[in-house]
Amino acid sequence: MSFTLFRNPFPSFIEHYDEVSSTNDIAFEILFEKGKKANGGIIVAENQSNGRGRIGRKWVSKMGDSLLLSLIFIPPENYFKEFIPLCAGLSVIRSIKKYREIDAKLKWPNDIVFDGKKLGGILVESKTMGTTPSGFVIGIGLNVKGKKDDFSLELRNKVSTIEEISKRECDKNELLKFLIKELKEIYNFSFSDKMLFMVELKREFIHRKGDRIKINLGNEILEGNFVEINDEGRMVINSKKGKRVIIHGEVESL
Ligand code: BTN
């Protein structure tokens, strides 16, 4: 039987803003100011003027429509850091399921998707802080209110919102409560039982063995067949050049 010696402090505090540049920026400011005391703090904003996405993208939102938050996390030294973004992904899909019975899935590594449309994304950033252990900021953006037509022409056919899928009005604060509960449980779970955590996580990806995959590695576009998400949370594909284990990348459909 496994048990945990680790209890995360989520949420140690919650700060709510109308508009910030990026909730991740505010979280880092607080982390540098308070050090370890910032662990478990959550920054929420109604809008961002300079929201960031993965691989240098912008994250655009409309005032009040999205759940935009950043969680400050200083993990214990022996915590497997690769799990940080994966835990966030699993927490988000579980909270959406519990809040509105939406069976959202993960597109590797941690895009939140439903029926091929993006519902949200996760950006984990880290900075070292002198003698204090490295701090991580887990940024989560979720399309909650409105309809896909509220998005730019470029995004319209690629995204959806929780209200649009559930056909019900949503309360972002209610969803936040569900999400915080899941974040707390899932991070503890990933620490106490890595194996079971990976088993449960792997079930939630949209990718199936043999799927044709095109993946942007930043400096290279790789094509191949999906093999698995391995126990470190990395994507394994069979490419022309043989088996490749991908640590960072953006999956584009073929
Ligand atoms: C992605 O899919 O590319 C990741 C998007 C992450 C967006 C969130 S919104 C809250 C937090 N603050 C940011 O500037 N980005 C993340």
User: For 178-201, what is each residue's pLDDT tens digit?
Assistant: 999 999 999 999 999 999 999 999
Nearest CA to ligand 1 atom 2: 121
Ligand 1 atom with the smallest distance to the CA of 110 is 2
Residue partners of 28: CB distance under 8 A and separation at least 6: 125, 127, 135, 137
CATH 2.30.30.100 fits 212-253, yes or no: yes
Question: How does 151-182 read in b/e, with b if 16+ C-beta sit within 10 Å?
Answer: beeeeeeebbbbbbbeeeebebeebbebbbeb
| Cα–Cα distance for residue pair 100/162, rounded to 1 Å | 8
What is the model's pLDDT at position 2? 44
CATH superfamily placement of domain 14-202: Bira Bifunctional Protein; Domain 2 (3.30.930.10)
Between the CA of 244 and the centroid of ligand 1 the distance, in Å, is 27
Nearest CA to ligand 1 atom 15: 52
Between the CA of 242 and the centroid of ligand 1 the distance, in Å, is 33
| Cα–Cα distance for residue pair 183/11, rounded to 1 Å | 9
Residue 218 has pLDDT above 90, yes or no: no
Domain boundaries, the chain: 14-202, 212-253
Between the CA of 241 and the centroid of ligand 1 the distance, in Å, is 33
Ligand 1 atom with the smallest distance to the CA of 50 is 14
Ligand 1 atom with the smallest distance to the CA of 22 is 14
Ligand 1 binding pocket includes 54 (Cβ within 6 Å): yes
Higher pLDDT, 3 or 46: 46
Residue partners of 76: CB distance under 8 A and separation at least 6: 6, 191
54-88 pLDDT, tens digit per residue, is: 988 999 999 999 999 999 999 998 899 999 999 99
Q: Are 242 and 225 in contact (CB under 8 A)?
A: no
| Cα–Cα distance for residue pair 32/54, rounded to 1 Å | 22
Give the residue from 83, 82, 102 showing the smallest Cα distance to 94. Answer: 102
Between the CA of 74 and the centroid of ligand 1 the distance, in Å, is 19
Per-residue pLDDT band at 139 (split at 50, 70, 90):
very high
pTM of the model: 0.95
For ligand 1, mutation pick of 22, 42, 50, 52 (most atoms within 8 Å of CB): 52
Give the residue from 193, 182, 200, 181 showing the smallest Cα distance to 3. Answer: 193
What is the model's pLDDT at position 68? 98
Enumerate the β-bridge partners of residue 252: 214
Ligand 1 binding pocket includes 52 (Cβ within 6 Å): yes
Between the CA of 138 and the centroid of ligand 1 the distance, in Å, is 9
Q: Are 113 and 103 in contact (CB under 8 A)?
A: no
CB atoms < 10 A from the CB of 192, how many?
Answer: 15
Between the CA of 47 and the centroid of ligand 1 the distance, in Å, is 11
53 CB burial (10 A radius; 0-12, 13-18, 19+): middle
